Structure 1
Amino acid sequence: FYKPEHPDFFASENVVELQWLLAQVLADKDILTKLVASVCAIEGCTYEVQNQLLNYTPAELAKTFISGTSNSKQLLFAPIPNFIFTRDIGITIKDHVLLNKPAKKARTREALLAKYIFFHHAMFSQYRNNIIELADSNHSFLMPKEEDDRKITLEGGDIMVISDNHLLVGVSERTSSEAAVKITNTLFQKGLMEKVSIIKIPKKRDYMHIDTVFTQVKRDVWVMLGNFSRKAMKHEDEDAIERILEVKKEEKIKILQFHRQDPENPVSFDSLEDLLIDISKNDLHCKTEVRFIYSGNNEFPYNAREQWTDSCNLLALKEGVVLGYDRNDKTTEAFRNAGFAVIHARDLLQQLEAGTIQTATITNTLILMPSAELSRARGGFHCMSMPLWRESLDIDQ
């Protein structure tokens, strides 16, 4: 395997590498000049460094913009390792692209690079007039720091296109209520969605985005953190005094589902399970019982520990076939108990290459890969993917 800047890099048409796209965008000298100026302004570079970067080839410059390192191995500005979490830089919603507005300054360069890719790469020409950007209000610069939560911030881990006409929006540590309001109104005005469910979760790094506490496995199967189950929301495991004093109040969530035809009367859900059951039954027309697989098999302390290392942040390659980390043993056990096969990615690749198994025949399977340092960055496979195209589901199956 070669890195994107290598001449022999395999440029897949199905799994697209951002550095490769960026290099192609930078082949336009005018765009290169503008982006160099923008990055240097953000990073506080000297005019000398700016002029040096103008002489880089597109491939060299794309690498430098991401790594922060010059051709001579000098560190010009901080690298952006979070660029691997492509879910956060934008989300495709039908024939539109919603760009992010990061909450942390460290991710500003990511957002800038993504913007140039979406607006200028030929691959996204069909989206060019359908790119949604969220601007701050005219008075945002007047807000004191303690009112930062009123500013518009959005990261893609808080957006889930759950069906053709239903979008989930998380309000979290990284996505503000103001952004959720603006997204909902924009999508309703454009007629892109009939329903938007806003899920307000505790503003904790543990729950950075909603996709760190739940993701979909199948139409009728979800993986989630048990803290937001029906049982937990009703405090059934607490004694009377603990329940009355609301000792665990900080774990509460609020879920409101807005309908385009009647936004004044949203539907409220008491727990995350209630919302997900409603989605499976009413949006995806499931006739079977909706099942939940819990992080850490819902056992203390594995539930919270494995959620931290992304047990709930899974990527469905197709219905019922998901990618996860091999370090979350109790969650893996829960998948086995739910009837799923478990296989390590290296073993699966060997079987695929040997022809002993076909991708079309793989069903109900958890594919495991090592996480190394990735899980320390609070991101799993769902975070590391940005779907550009979604196959329509036959909801009558």
Structure 2
Amino acid sequence: MPNPFVGSEVGRLREVIVHRPGVELLRLTPQTKDDLLFDDLIWVHRAQEEHDRFSGALVEHGVTVLHLDQLLRETLSHAEARSFLIDRATDERIHGPALAPVLREVADRMDDAALAELIIGGLTKRELLELTDEPPSVVLHTLGMDHLVLAPLPNHLFTRDASCWVYDGVAVNSMRMPARIREAYTYEAIYRWHPRFAGRAFQRWSDALDDAAATVEGGDVLVLGDGAVLVGMSERTTPQGVERLAQRLFAAGSADRMVALHLPGAREFMHLDTVMTMVDERSFIEYAGLGDLPSYTITPRGSGEQVELDIADHRPGRAHHAIADALGVDGLRILTAQQDVHSAAREQWDDGCNALAIAPGAVITYDRTPTSNAYLRESGIEVIEMPGAELGRGRGGPRCMSCPVVRDAT
């Protein structure tokens, strides 16, 4: 079993973590969807079928597919992991001091499979009272029978964000939105206690338990290769998070240059990979409406723990040049399908730029972005289409739904 290592964005993909939609998506209602960061409700049965096609395509191309819920169940066989996750799911600041210990007791009685479903799928008041007598809790008393006592984690569908592997290490990320904060704890437990990861040699680039406001999300992090990293400062990733990530990578000697792009702070640009992804060693598919982004190149000064940051501020219109310099190539090939403004905006919203490379020049995309897919093929890129009629409602594509753990350098 190879050590975790992600050496590029487009090298041969060997191993990846995904999450098949489950009961957590059944918790989405017109009343809960906004707080849970979804724009629409999802037909879960069809979404599961689509996700199975996604996983199947990965397996057909030689990728080892690890399922998050299975990793979690196996991790929960470790007593310390159970305590760690139960403690973080039953928080007195959220549930109050009367209800939190009752929830903790209910969770601790569950077997590993039921506890994994509770952590990801959440719990309503009605379901809680089927498991225990009603405690004298003001918090619980004010809730309706079908209100959520423990919030679900439907955004675990997008395994890219809370955990991202960069070269020889992993960032377990501090998440920007409250609905996603607990996702990082799932990965923290898996990487600490699951036998596939425990005791393995890898670095730690961030610690969600400590990083707090210095947020970074994996959808904003692209591993360019050969020590270069591209990061978006977006609705979800902060400049201070970018600087902290750069400093840790540089201190370990795992990277020596980072390009940071300043994205508009809007939902349609929530992560860099919603508007720009790499499809071969020097080619990117890019949204036509992206415009000229402010950009910065960050490099180390000094070495080891004393490393400081040199930051070069590029003038508008130089972002592509900065990325090319980081890649060590004369220029980039930017692939942008020719469409009218409205069509381009629709395809970007439907994740037309969110391609997952499985090898140089071979990507998985949704079938709901036909113009972008056709343009990629005309440009010499192999496109493997997957259905996305339901999954696409979650505003995340194939790259969002994958957390590469082992990927070749290029």
How high is the TM-score relative to the length of structure 1? 0.73
Q: Does 1:125 align with 2:198?
A: yes
Residue of structure 1 in register with 2:219 after alignment: 157
Residue of structure 2 in register with 1:308 after alignment: 349
Residue of structure 2 in register with 1:260 after alignment: 300
Structure 1, residues 70-115: CA drift from partner, whole Å, max 9, x if none?
6969864222111011110111122211111000000011111111
Check 1:152–1:127 CA distance in 2 against 1; reply closer, same or farther (3 A cut).
farther
Structure 1, residues 285-312: CA drift from partner, whole Å, max 9, x if none?
57xx7432215x3432111111111111
Contact 2:230 2:323 in 1 (8 A): no
User: Which protein, 1 or 2, shows the higher relative CO under an 8 Å CA cutoff with sep ≥ 6?
Assistant: 2
- In structure 2, what residue type is equivalent to 1:216? M
| Shift in Å, 1:170 | 1.3
Contact 1:313 1:381 in 2 (8 A): yes
SS of residue in 1 equivalent to 2:66: coil
Check 1:391–1:56 CA distance in 2 against 1; reply closer, same or farther (3 A cut).
same
Contact 1:85 1:385 in 2 (8 A): yes
SS of residue in 2 equivalent to 1:388: strand
Residue of structure 2 in register with 1:243 after alignment: none
Q: Does 1:367 align with 2:407?
A: no
How high is the TM-score relative to the length of structure 2? 0.71
Residue of structure 2 in register with 1:291 after alignment: 333
| Shift in Å, 1:4 | 11
Q: Does 1:79 align with 2:152?
A: yes
Q: What is the RMSD computed on CA atoms of the aligned residues?
A: 3.0
Q: 1:16 aligns with which of 41, 63, 66?
A: 66
The alignment covers a number of residue pairs equal to 324
Check 1:60–1:33 CA distance in 2 against 1; reply closer, same or farther (3 A cut).
same
SS of residue in 1 equivalent to 2:289: helix
Residue of structure 2 in register with 1:144 after alignment: none
| Shift in Å, 1:388 | 0.6
Aligned-partner Cα distance in 2 for 1:54–1:187:
38
Q: 2:231 aligns with which of 166, 169, 174?
A: 169
Residue of structure 2 in register with 1:250 after alignment: none
Q: 2:111 aligns with which of 57, 62, 81?
A: 57
Deviates more, 1:179-188 or 1:67-76: 67-76
% of aligned pairs identical?
Answer: 29
Contact 1:225 1:312 in 2 (8 A): yes
Residue of structure 2 in register with 1:273 after alignment: 320
Contact 1:220 1:290 in 2 (8 A): yes
Contact 1:134 1:179 in 2 (8 A): no
- In structure 2, what residue type is equivalent to 1:62? A
Structure 1, residues 217-245: CA drift from partner, whole Å, max 9, x if none?
111321001234xxx53xxxxxxxxxxxx
- In structure 1, what residue type is equivalent to 2:89? V
Aligned-partner Cα distance in 1 for 2:180–2:84:
19
Contact 2:236 2:270 in 1 (8 A): yes
Residue of structure 2 in register with 1:101 after alignment: 174
Q: Does 1:33 align with 2:91?
A: no
Contact 1:225 1:298 in 2 (8 A): no
Q: Does 1:186 align with 2:228?
A: no
SS of residue in 1 equivalent to 2:255: coil
Deviates more, 1:175-184 or 1:35-44: 35-44
Q: 1:116 aligns with which of 177, 181, 189?
A: 189
Residue of structure 1 in register with 2:44 after alignment: none
- In structure 2, what residue type is equivalent to 1:48? V
Unpaired segments of 5 or more residues in structure 2? 1-19, 23-54, 132-145, 303-308
Aligned-partner Cα distance in 1 for 2:198–2:227:
24
Aligned-partner Cα distance in 2 for 1:372–1:78:
26
SS of residue in 2 equivalent to 1:330: helix
Structure 1, residues 198-256: CA drift from partner, whole Å, max 9, x if none?
1111111110011111101111321001234xxx53xxxxxxxxxxxxxxxxxxx2111
Residue of structure 1 in register with 2:17 after alignment: none
Which has a greater percent of strand? 2
Check 1:279–1:16 CA distance in 2 against 1; reply closer, same or farther (3 A cut).
same
Aligned-partner Cα distance in 2 for 1:129–1:388:
11
Aligned-partner Cα distance in 2 for 1:315–1:50:
39
Check 1:113–1:166 CA distance in 2 against 1; reply closer, same or farther (3 A cut).
same
SS of residue in 2 equivalent to 1:175: coil
- Dislocated runs of 4+, deviation >6 Å: 71-74, 135-138
Aligned-partner Cα distance in 2 for 1:127–1:168:
26
SS of residue in 2 equivalent to 1:203: coil
SS of residue in 2 equivalent to 1:226: coil
Check 1:318–1:256 CA distance in 2 against 1; reply closer, same or farther (3 A cut).
same
Residue of structure 2 in register with 1:320 after alignment: 361
SS of residue in 2 equivalent to 1:387: strand
Aligned-partner Cα distance in 2 for 1:203–1:4:
28
Contact 2:258 2:326 in 1 (8 A): no
- In structure 2, what residue type is equivalent to 1:152? A
Residue of structure 2 in register with 1:346 after alignment: none
- In structure 2, what residue type is equivalent to 1:292? I
Aligned-partner Cα distance in 1 for 2:188–2:71:
12
